[in-house]
Amino acid sequence: MQIVDRRLNPGGKSLANRQRFLRRAKDMVREAVRDSAGERSLKDMERGGEVTIPASGVKEPHFRRAAGGLREHVLPGNKEYLEGDTIPRPRGGAGGGGSEGSPDGEGEDAFRFALTQEEFLDLFLEDLELPELAKKRVVEGDASGVKRAGFATQGSPANLALGRTMRNAMSRRLALRRPKPHELEELEEALRQAEETDPAEAEALRGRLALLRARSTRIPYIDPIDVRYRQFEPAPKPIARAVMFCLMDVSGSMTEGMKDLAKRFYLLLHLFLKRRYKHVDVVFIRHTHEAKEVDEETFFRSPETGGTVVSTAFEEMLKVMEARYSPADWNIYVAQASDGDNTSADNDRTAHLLTDRVLPACQYFAYLEVGREDDGGPIGFMPRETELWRTYGKLRAAEPRMAMRKVRHRKDIYPVFRDLFRKGAVEGAKS
């Protein structure tokens, strides 16, 4: 009898099969992931989770009998039946029908299983891309990798540099003139011949042989001083990093619902940036008639009153950018959410700031106009265009890096997001 501890074996034995399964069901899983995205809260989204796909797509068919015909069952637990009794047919299939159930749950309409966070996000954000990605690459100190750093005399056996060690040993043997095995053999051979013919010569040879043998034991084949190990040292790796500016109008006209929409959009964007860049900073700037950089909680929660001057937000943003995020070092993304109000006098200034200073510095500028859910307007009337929409609309034609969308309902967020970052969307706009 043997006892083997398998717990230490590397895990993930089923990983390859699991990936094959996901690839096989990819279209359906993708669909399911996107459907479920509408329902989940965005926090959940980061966690991965369960999806349900139609079983038909991953069915493994076999020859099976359908229900019907003559069937017999032997059942335990008779209480009152006598031979010849009749029993009304129970609804939903054959009576008792224990033999019908299939062990692996095949035959159900839906197949349900859990995705890891990685798998979920991969599918969720698949075929989206960031415009102007990786234009800038900078050295970031704390990102570590290892690089080779020559050889050392100490190290772990796993890092033993065999070739180098043998080379050292060989040169040492050559330098100290360690006798070679074939030299010894030749000498022995000569000695054997001399012993028969010439005793004096034999004596000399014997002495020489003893000398060489002694030297060969004194000078080892491999000596500890020959041993070398490959050495590695941590090295900073260049990585791309990004900063995301969230600009939001928090004046009285923005309702909680609108803020919620904006929040969802920001979270999606954040999630997306995090997948593409190792390092993502987020800066929250809220504005009424004046703008301020705040933390996340304040940004979404605390109410504020005042007028609406959009240009203040840009000014604040430029200030932060100058202080901390030089455009030369950072990939800059700006997402602005607003209900579209602006003080009329500020429109020109806003447009100038945007075209002259903000857009040249950033990778991408997305403007999200949030509306009330019931704000469809009477049927047959075009909804009034807002101040900002009109202002930005004029700039947009000349600016491929700028995108704008309107959102009224939660369920629109994801489609709008996908639409903005669809592969080729930006190039299409450019050309």
Q: Tell me which residues touch other proteins (CB under 8 A).
A: 1-7, 9, 11, 13-14, 16-25, 50, 58-79, 81-89, 94-96, 98-99, 101, 104-105, 111-114
CB of 36 to other proteins, least distance (A): 14
- Measure the N-to-C terminal CA separation of the chain; round to a whole number of Å: 73
State the Cα angle at 9 between 3 and 15, rounded to 5°: 135
CB of 115 to other proteins, least distance (A): 9
Assigned token pair, 366: 């997305």
Contacts 24+ apart (CB under 8 A), 98-105: 98/73, 99/73, 100/67
Residue (5 or 356) nearer to other proteins, CB: 5
CB of 85 to other proteins, least distance (A): 4
Q: Tell me the sheet residues that pair with 218.
A: none
Question: Can you tell me the distance from the alpha carbon of 398 to that of 101, in angstroms, rounded to the nearest whole number?
Answer: 64
Question: Can you tell me the distance from the alpha carbon of 249 to that of 267, in angstroms, rounded to the nearest whole number?
Answer: 17
CA distance to 369, 384, 386, per residue, from 379 (Å): 20, 13, 18
Tell me the one-letter amino acid at 256: E
Tell me the one-letter amino acid at 100: E
Residue (39 or 85) nearer to other proteins, CB: 85
CB of 41 to other proteins, least distance (A): 19
Residue (12 or 224) nearer to other proteins, CB: 12
Residue (32 or 310) nearer to other proteins, CB: 32
CB-CB contact of 164 with 151 (8 Å): yes
CB of 50 to other proteins, least distance (A): 7
* 3-state DSSP assignment of residue 382: coil
Residue (100 or 296) nearer to other proteins, CB: 100
Residue (97 or 400) nearer to other proteins, CB: 97
Strands in 278-391 per DSSP E: 279-287, 291-294, 331-338, 364-370
Task: Calculate the CA 5 to chain-centre distance.
Answer: 34
CB of 52 to other proteins, least distance (A): 10
Question: Can you tell me the distance from the alpha carbon of 173 to that of 160, in angstroms, rounded to the nearest whole number?
Answer: 20
CB of 27 to other proteins, least distance (A): 14
Residue (84 or 181) nearer to other proteins, CB: 84
